[in-house]
Amino acid sequence: MSMVEKKISMYEKMLQLKEKINGEEAQKFKEFYNGKFFSGDITITEKMETVTLTFHHGKCIDVVEGIPNSGLDIGVSGSKEDWDKFVTHKSLSVATNKGNSNNLTTHGGAIRFRQNFNVVAQLIRVYASIR
Amino acid sequence: MGINGFYITVSGIKIYCETNNGPENGDTIICLHTAGRENRQYHDMMEILKDKYQMISFDMPAHGKSWPLAGNKVINNYVDYGKFVWAVIEELGVKDPIVIGCSMGGNIVYHLAQEYPVKAICSMQGSDYTPTIDEKILELLNHPYVNPQHSHLEFSECLIGSATTQERRDFILWGVMQEIGITKQGDLTQYNGFDVREKMDQVTCPVLVVHGLDDKIATGEMAEATMSRLTNCKTIVYRPIEDYGHFILVENPELVSVYLDEFIQMIDKQGKVEVLN
């Protein structure tokens, strides 16, 4: 057995995230964080890798590399250091607070993003747990 | 439950107050709530300290059961905030108040100590400079397409300390669900514009700083930087609390009450220089 650890791509991690957000995390995601009202795309970028998850009423129905042909809906991006920092607190509010360093960058229309802030916040919190 | 509510009129506005009916012959503690919330945050502390101190909490205009400013306006700058707090204290007829506050209330106590004759202050999760919130988020707190009770939930959730009980966590989040968009917008606008650093050397009354360290927005570092500017304050007591966060008065009222009681006893009996850490 090889002792070399296989590097998992961002896309593969997002497939794991899809399983988790549709499985053990589904109830909390849909009900407490209002995921059941969200239909659309959430694009996540870490370093130079971008993956988009498509949701229908809070269920993740597709994962694609990059930004869909229809364009970016909402999302967050950051460098490896930014995501490393995020993992320590797991809060999008903290990661977008002006007073803090190594913040994440939000993408998409400001209104749409605020309407679905909890959905994105919880999705990337779960992502942080498997990253 | 020994807490009673009553109304007073301040600058023409009906203001809702609560008292724990504590002893009238000792110190009176005026209690200031956090942004967007109201005076129920102090119920536990008021119960714990009811045999020792008279405590009066009140809802700022447009919060809780108090009326808004004329024309359904809200206070959105710290100078007006401080003026209103002092007007409430004068209307209550309280002399030499000990003023305690958390978050925006923990900020404004520094301004009050600079401008008004308080006996002492207690700042919980406070600072003298808090330019922390993105202006776009502030704008969207009062937008017809954005629900502040939902969009701002995670903002409060992330501030709660890891050791906080579920019951207290639920009460804090219930507070978010009761918030009024324009009120929260006004509070956080004044919070974002709060900067009283230049006058910190004018604070001479005793200062208690209580800080839950599980707070990634109003951080312990901000509290310590603030204390470093209290250059003419002879009595500063700093009580950092591990594993609790931004809503420290709700999260751990037992420990905050112990620290507040110790502080008041110290300044009443000694009134001398003492710095605890």
pLDDT in tens, B179-202: 999 999 999 999 999 999 999 999
Residue A117: is its pLDDT beyond 90? yes
Tell me how far apart the alpha carbons of residues A66 and B218 are, in angstroms, rounded to a whole number.
36
A28 touches chain B (CB under 8 A): no
Percent of chain B with pLDDT over 70: 97
Residue type, A28: K
Alpha helices by DSSP H, chain A: 10-22, 26-27, 80-89, 92-95, 110-115, 117-130
- Cβ-in-10-Å burial (0-12, 13-18, 19+) of B116 comes to middle
Domains, chain A, ordered by start? 10-77+105-130 (3.30.1050)
Do A60 and A67 touch, CB atoms closer than 8 A? no
The half-sphere exposure of B19 on its side-chain side, counting CA atoms within 13 A, is 13
Tell me how far apart the alpha carbons of residues A25 and A58 are, in angstroms, rounded to a whole number.
11
Tell me how far apart the alpha carbons of residues A42 and A67 are, in angstroms, rounded to a whole number.
9
Mean pLDDT, rounded, of chain B: 95
Residue with tokens 């002006």: A98
Residue type, A65: E
- Cβ-in-10-Å burial (0-12, 13-18, 19+) of A100 comes to middle
Of A76, A86, A90, A97, which to mutate for an interface test with B (greatest number of B Cβ within 10 Å)? A97
Chain B's closest residue to A37, CA to CA, is: B150
Q: Which fold has domain B4-270?
A: Rossmann fold (3.40.50)
Q: What residues does each domain of chain B span?
A: 4-270
User: Which residues on chain B place their C-beta less than 8 Å from a C-beta of chain A?
Assistant: 130-134, 136-137, 140, 143, 145-147, 150-155, 157-159, 216-217, 219, 222
Do B179 and B148 touch, CB atoms closer than 8 A? yes
Listed range (B132-146, B152-166, B258-272) with the worst mean pLDDT: B258-272
Tell me how far apart the alpha carbons of residues B125 and B217 are, in angstroms, rounded to a whole number.
9
Considering only CA atoms, which of A82, A125, A116 is closest in space to residue A100? A82
Mean pLDDT, rounded, of chain A: 93
pLDDT in tens, A6-58: 678 999 999 999 999 999 999 999 999 999 999 999 999 998 899 999 999 99
pLDDT in tens, B222-238: 999 999 999 999 999 99
A-chain residues near B146 (CB < 8 A):
111, 114-115
Tell me how far apart the alpha carbons of residues A71 and A92 are, in angstroms, rounded to a whole number.
23
**pTM of model > 0.90:** yes
